[in-house]
Structure 1
Amino acid sequence: MTEFDAPSSPVPGGELGDIASYHEDDGQGFQLLQDANIRRFAAYWDGLRGVRWAPARKEVDPLAIPWALPHVFIGDYEADSGQFRYRVAGREIEAVFERYRGSSSLKGAALSDILPAEQAAVVARRWGPLATRGAIVYMRGWVYYSAGRAARGERILLPLSDDGTAVSGFLGYTQCRWSSMAEIAEAPHVDIWRLSSGRPEPTL
């Protein structure tokens, strides 16, 4: 596997920096997904897009995925500013960030609104291939870490395109279990892949 364009060394000023290793998937695509719910969610998105490289946001129907809703997040990518901005998130996702936002809703929040600046910059770079290449981003390992606790699991970010040519947003799902910071200190790591979509990627 080869690295794609993302930082693999600590970010200056970050509490833990970027603990990730970055990979291409060598054509394995969704075969890399381990969690059954992550695979089911990816299959839902794949069904929506059909022969296209990504579906439109309006095609995502919450009534079709009631089992997934607590772990789902949907948002916009603002090309002019490079911002990822949440539209809606399930209760399990909102609970993680409530301490930073001071609100139970992530609606309208950018990454910089819900994370310290250094961590927001790391997350934006991790999500970058979705915005710049229309890629699927898949993470496995420590998917959350903050003061006092951390969570190990999987996350997938899937592109959305309202016009069929440019990335307009993202559809995500996180499945994890919580642990202590002591455990993450023993093995602080997350693997991140840019997955093959099985379709020609858009020219962005």
Structure 2
Amino acid sequence: MSSSDPNVPQTEVISSVAPDRIRSKSLRNLLGYWEAKENYLGRLPARADLQPDEMVPFLPFVALINVQTGNPRFQFRLVGTGIVGSMGRETTNRQVDENLFGANAVVVENFFGIPLDTRGPAYAAGKYTVAPSGRMLGFETLLLPLSTDGTAIDMLLGGLVGERIQRDEQICGFQYDYYCPVVQTATR
């Protein structure tokens, strides 16, 4: 979906992406970990099914995001140090809203809604601009649904890998180039 605000870069929505199109090894490993849990359990994994000691190679790039039901709202519950390094700021306990993402909040919420709609993984790739240099840095991100009861999605397992910003830089804007569901190899 795209915003009608002319100041917000347009985002392409594509139908799906194959897992082998995910460039980051950490995100591919995160997806494989989640799929293995789902296949073993025969249901969507829950937060309690995740074992940090099994996630060591990609744990710095992992986030947990609470899903608040009703009109879905999302809140970062835990954000890995690799994500903080890429973003240049801490987002733990922050809501996904205008205060955090500005004019892009609606697009971010649309992306975060894909796992709720499909009950499967979602992927996005994009760029963020940093000040004062104006450099454009690439990132990619993955969202995976979690469910305490195996049915209702109450949390997202996220991953983000991006180029690191420098100490004197700050993100001043970002855009998704595209976002979409991930084609799953196993059937449910």
Common fold, TM-score beyond 0.5?
yes
Q: 1:72 aligns with which of 59, 62, 68?
A: 62
Kindly provide the CA deviation profile for residues 44-102 of structure 1, in whole angstroms up to 9, marking residues without a partner as x.
1111112535211111111211222221101111112411111111123235263xxxx
Q: 1:21 Cα shift?
A: 1.0
Kindly provide the CA deviation profile for residues 142-173 of structure 1, in whole angstroms up to 9, marking residues without a partner as x.
2x445545430321111111111121111111
Q: Does 1:20 align with 2:6?
A: no
Kindly provide the CA deviation profile for residues 81-140 of structure 1, in whole angstroms up to 9, marking residues without a partner as x.
411111111123235263xxxxx461x321127514422222111222112332311112
Q: Quote the RMSD (CA, aligned, Å).
A: 2.9
* 8 Å CA contact retained: 1:111, 1:124: yes
* 8 Å CA contact retained: 1:152, 1:178: no
Q: In structure 2, give the amino acid aligned to 1:165.
A: T
Tell me which residue corresponds to 2:170.
Answer: none
Q: Return 5+ residue gaps in structure 1 as ranges.
A: 1-5, 99-103
1:161/1:199 CA distance change after superposition, 3 Å: farther
Q: Return 5+ residue gaps in structure 2 as ranges.
A: 167-172
Taking the aligned partners of 1:57 and 1:113, their CA distance within structure 2 comes to 27
* 8 Å CA contact retained: 1:11, 1:118: no
- 1:7-86 aligned at under 5 Å gives the runs 7=2, 10-12=3-5, 15=7, 17-25=8-16, 29-50=18-39, 52-86=42-76
- 1:1-204 aligned at under 5 Å gives the runs 6-7=1-2, 10-12=3-5, 15=7, 17-25=8-16, 29-50=18-39, 52-95=42-85, 96=87, 98=89, 104=90, 106=92, 108-112=93-97, 115-142=100-127, 144-145=128-129, 147-148=131-132, 149-178=135-164, 190-197=177-184, 198-200=186-188
Q: 1:177 Cα shift?
A: 1.3
* 8 Å CA contact retained: 2:12, 2:178: yes
Taking the aligned partners of 1:97 and 1:83, their CA distance within structure 2 comes to 23
Taking the aligned partners of 1:113 and 1:72, their CA distance within structure 2 comes to 22
For these two proteins, the number of residue pairs brought into alignment is 177
Kindly provide the CA deviation profile for residues 11-66 of structure 1, in whole angstroms up to 9, marking residues without a partner as x.
427x4x143211122xx642322222221111111111125352111111112112
1:74/1:179 CA distance change after superposition, 3 Å: closer
With normalisation by structure 2, the TM-score equals 0.78
Aligned residues with identical type, % of pairs: 20
Secondary structure class of the residue paired with 1:24: coil
